[in-house]
Amino acid sequence: MEAAALGALMPMHLHVSATGHILSVGPTLAKLRPDEQLSGRRLLELFEIKRPQNIRSYADLVSHGSCLVRARFRHGDQLGLKGLFVPLPAAQDPLQPDRREADDAPPVLRPLPTPPGDAACGGLLNLSLGVNVVEAVQRYNLNSADFAPADPTVDMLYLIEAKSVALEESKRLNARLEGARSAAEVQALTDTLTGLQNRRGMDLVLQQLASSGQAFGLMHLDLDHFKQVNDTFGHGAGDHVLRHVAGILQDETRASDMVARVGGDEFVLIFQGCVDLPVLEGIAWRIIARLEEPVAYDGHLCRISASIGTTLSSFYTKPVADRMLNDADEALYASKNQGRACHTVFKPQQASRIG
Amino acid sequence: MYGMIHRALQCFSQDTYGDGLWQKAVADAGVPSPEFEAMLTYPDQQLDDVLNALAARLDKTPAQLCEDLGAYLVTHARMEPVRRLLRFGGATFEDFVLSLDDLHDRVKLALPDLHLPRLEVDVHSQSAFSILVNSEREGFGAVLLGILRALADDYGALAVLEHGRAAKDGLMREKITAEVFEADFTSGRGFGLVTTDIVR
């Protein structure tokens, strides 16, 4: 076959003589070494053959028969190449017409690896850029004419580019949706796990109450032993307990009161129009008693309790939300210090800062 | 229909006539949101409604707007990825026109949900072609006309293009005729198989 036809069919081939010298080079392969004359040089002087292993001479390669080859240029940019080597017995024309009879074995894509014996043997090595194609196209300024029409490389490059455009669009959409989601979350007033108000919801109610001058009681509740439930039975149990707690807190309060989950196991209860200490103390102790009833989850019994601190807007000449929260928190910690599972009312006379 | 087409109209309108006009056209059309997402789907009717509202505000026909949209897809810097994907069709403008037969399948490979009409290319001579748009929807032919006009420039070819209609299996279809007078009229714009952004 003529070198031109060989080049058109296989733009990255090397036709090698029986002595291991390059007879012809495909035009695209030649483009990878624009300043060098490849024809006439020895194959192994130009390329390092990495697979098959231990190829020290051209005869070594021929001894493998038809085989997959991984190679790279020995000098300059050592671009990895892969391809197929097919020995061509010297006596034969490189590519002969197909003269098989009707009942002969069907042609195989890769001839069986039958070393052609001792006879000197030329060969064809058809290379490809493999996954290095993107880099090679850029570096050597290859264009669609450098790839055989039967080679889907250009379609692959098209696909890489189209998919990266689509992926970029998807990423942009995801980022926008994520932004919208977090904006919605920031604006949300509800705790998604329990359905109670969240801290933001509580802040709004507290601000409204403080500015309206309406009297109210404020309770800060912190679960006891909740961490053990989480650590022992897992987060599923913890979430179950939190929902159970939310149910009890809502049961024990009126619809006009507000229950908020303000932290992992921290709750705030606001009793609108109620500054009656005995009533609130009753509610607090009832809540503690109900929370101490064990909760069944997945065959286990989860046991928790709660510590509560309470303050009233009537303790202050001018109730300020932040101060009231701090004072309820202080009372809550007094409960914790008393050995948990109890309720403490903030004592205004203890705090010199009350105005 | 895939939002990519709605999105293209939105980008074209905003980049060409400003956001104010786009907002007005969307409001005229009674479409709920002025932001189309390329990767979501929207009703076809919204596309028609916005296109008609935009045409009315600009005192143009929908077909004229479609042609401008086609040219925008090839020429505007923001649409460079579209121009590049189109240029994969062929090394010359004639090759590109001949590749339109495959456009439907090629697009499907990259975006399986984007249904573009099948195109049928007829070769009359070495430099004269006609392209039949197999779609019940009007408008794609005009977009294609805009794309081809702009791409002829992009390849540096001198071509005359016309938009018409032809019967196919008893149905009227949009048809583009293309005659290439000179393949290398100008140097055109460059195209490499790989963009600089892909290689790092």
The Cα–Cα gap between B155 and B150 comes to 9
Residues A234, A320 within the same domain: yes
Q: What is the pLDDT of residue A90?
A: 58
Chain A CB contacts of B84 under 8 Å are 161
- The reply to whether A176 touches chain B by the CB within 8 Å rule is yes
**Residue A342: enclosing H or E segment and its boundaries?**
none
Chain B nearest CA to A158, separation (Å): 6
Q: Which of A132, A160, A165, A178 to mutate to test the interface with B (most CBs of B within 10 A)?
A: A165
Question: Quick one: which of B140, B126, B141, B133 has its CA closest to B92?
Answer: B126
Q: ipTM of this predicted complex?
A: 0.78
Low-confidence ranges of chain A (pLDDT < 50): 92-94, 112-116, 118, 352-355
- The reply to whether A178 touches chain B by the CB within 8 Å rule is no
HEC assignment per residue over A227-244 = HHHHHHHCHHHHHHHHHH
User: Which residue among A135, A141, A158 sits closest to B199, beta carbon to beta carbon?
Assistant: A135
- The reply to whether A16 touches chain B by the CB within 8 Å rule is no
User: Strand, helix or coil at A157?
Assistant: helix
User: The domain spanning residue A71 has which CATH number?
Assistant: 3.30.450.260
| Amino acid, single-letter form, for residue B157 | A
In chain A the beta strands, taken as DSSP E runs, fall at 13-16, 22-25, 47-51, 67-73, 80-89, 121-128, 216-224, 258-261, 266-272, 295-297, 300-302, 305-312, 343-345
Residues A46, A119 within the same domain: yes
Domain that holds residue A19: 3-160
Nearest chain A Cα to B81, which residue? A165
Neighbours of B191 (CB within 10 A): 16
Low-confidence ranges of chain B (pLDDT < 50): 198-200
The Cα–Cα gap between B42 and A251 comes to 46
CA distances from A210 to A198, A203, A218, A273, A325 (A): 18, 10, 12, 12, 12
Residues A64, A9 within the same domain: yes
**Interface contact flag, A162 B109, Cβ < 8 Å:** yes
- The reply to whether A143 touches chain B by the CB within 8 Å rule is yes
**Interface contact flag, B85 A159, Cβ < 8 Å:** no
- The reply to whether A161 touches chain B by the CB within 8 Å rule is yes
Q: Is residue A255 part of a domain?
A: yes
Q: What is the pLDDT of residue B199?
A: 40
The Cα–Cα gap between B49 and A120 comes to 76
- The reply to whether A158 touches chain B by the CB within 8 Å rule is yes
Chain B nearest CA to A180, separation (Å): 14
User: Which residue among A143, A159, A166 sits closest to B193, beta carbon to beta carbon?
Assistant: A143
User: Which residue among A137, A161, A169 sits closest to B85, beta carbon to beta carbon?
Assistant: A161
User: Which residue among B39, B91, B198 sits closest to A160, beta carbon to beta carbon?
Assistant: B198
Q: Which of A160, A191, A222 is the last residue of a domain?
A: A160
Chain A / chain B CB contacts < 8 angstroms: 64
Q: Do residues A307 and A261 lie in contact, with contact meaning Cβ atoms separated by under 8 Å?
A: no
Q: Is residue A187 part of a domain?
A: no
Question: Chain B residues within 8 A (CB-CB) of chain A?
Answer: 4, 37-40, 81, 84-85, 88, 90-91, 106, 109-111, 192-196, 198-199
Q: Which of A111, A132, A160 is the last residue of a domain?
A: A160
**Interface contact flag, A162 B192, Cβ < 8 Å:** no
Chain A CB contacts of B110 under 8 Å are 158-159, 162-163, 165-166
Chain B CB contacts of A171 under 8 Å are none
**Interface contact flag, B111 A161, Cβ < 8 Å:** no
Buried b (16+ CB within 10 A) or exposed e, A41-55: eebbebbebeeeeeb
Q: How many domains is chain A built from?
A: 2
User: The domain spanning residue A276 has which CATH number?
Assistant: 3.30.70.270
User: Which residue among B4, B193, B196 sits closest to A154, beta carbon to beta carbon?
Assistant: B193
Q: Return the axis-axis angle of helices A153-187 and B80-87, rounded to nearest 10°.
A: 160
Q: Return the axis-axis angle of helices B3-17 and B44-58, rounded to nearest 10°.
A: 20
Q: What is the pLDDT of residue A331?
A: 93
Chain B nearest CA to A76, separation (Å): 20
The Cα–Cα gap between A106 and B175 comes to 47
**Interface contact flag, A143 B91, Cβ < 8 Å:** yes
Chain A CB contacts of B193 under 8 Å are 137, 142-144, 154, 157
Q: Which of A77, A157, A168 to mutate to test the interface with B (most CBs of B within 10 A)?
A: A157
Chain A CB contacts of B4 under 8 Å are 169
The Cα–Cα gap between A233 and A227 comes to 10
For chain B, give every domain's residue range: 3-60, 91-182
Q: Is residue A91 part of a domain?
A: yes
Chain B CB contacts of A173 under 8 Å are 37-40
- The reply to whether A135 touches chain B by the CB within 8 Å rule is yes
Q: Which of A112, A130, A160 is the last residue of a domain?
A: A160
User: Which residue among B37, B81, B193 sits closest to A165, beta carbon to beta carbon?
Assistant: B81
| CATH 3.40.50.10470 holds for B91-182 | no
